[in-house]
Amino acid sequence: NARPTKIAVAPEENIHFYDHNGWTLSYRHKAASQGYEQMEPILLIHPVGVGLSSWFWNNFFEEWKGPALYAPDLIGCGIQNGGDSWDPQERPLSFPLGWSKGCEALLEEQSHPSKYVVVAQGGLAPVAILLASRCPHAVSKLVLASPPTWEDMVTPIPEKEISQNYKFLTSKILGNLAFGLLESRWAIEFFSN
């Protein structure tokens, strides 16, 4: 069960929704500053982790003066903004392709006259790379901030390791304890700032 973390939204941000393949997804938007309306908009892909979503970019949104910003909540993230939660028992999802397709749907919905600059933080570099390769008509530039090594991006995690992690995180005692600690406001801010 998802327990959304309450994160303040800056007043100049607008949270919007779109549908993708049966998912209701949310995204934050900040309009272009005066004089920057014709510049390429920026799509910001947040890192993943317990409680993370587009709010990761709050400080960036607050300080930004420039072209329009779009920060989608990836599938299963942004529950506090009204996006759908994700339960892998109910609906399997392929990573990073599923998240990339969710971002692709947002680009298609916006149908901006110019291409986007896509910025991905950390381990979500594969999502941005897939998005750029699948949508060259919509992506002009790719910025990968602190990406993993190329070897880490192309080497699959052994299925046994994934299974062990899943069992641990879904266990009644240890999983609940881990999520309780990781979802605390302190932990989220500590790992995100």
Nearest to 49 by CA among 153, 181, 150: 181
Q: Tell whether the torsion through CA atoms of 40, 68, 75 and 152 is positive or negative.
A: positive
pTM assigned to the model: 0.83
Give CA–CA dist 160/186, Å, rounded: 31
Nearest to 191 by CA among 72, 56, 80: 56
pLDDT tens digit sequence for 38-60: 999 999 999 987 778 898 899 99
More confident residue, 177 or 127: 127
Determine which helix (DSSP H) or strand (DSSP E) holds 64, and give its type and residue range.
Answer: none
Report residue 53 as tokens.
Answer: 């979503």
Give CA–CA dist 6/29, Å, rounded: 18
Give CA–CA dist 159/150, Å, rounded: 20
pLDDT tens digit sequence for 89-145: 788 878 899 999 999 999 999 877 889 999 999 899 999 999 999 999 999 999 999
pLDDT at 10: 47
Neighbours of 133 (CB within 10 A): 11
Nearest to 117 by CA among 142, 146, 86: 142
Average pLDDT over residues 176-180: 80
Alpha helices in the chain (DSSP H): 58-63, 97-110, 125-134, 150-154, 159-169, 174-182, 185-192
pLDDT at 13: 54
Residue 1 has pLDDT above 60, yes or no: no
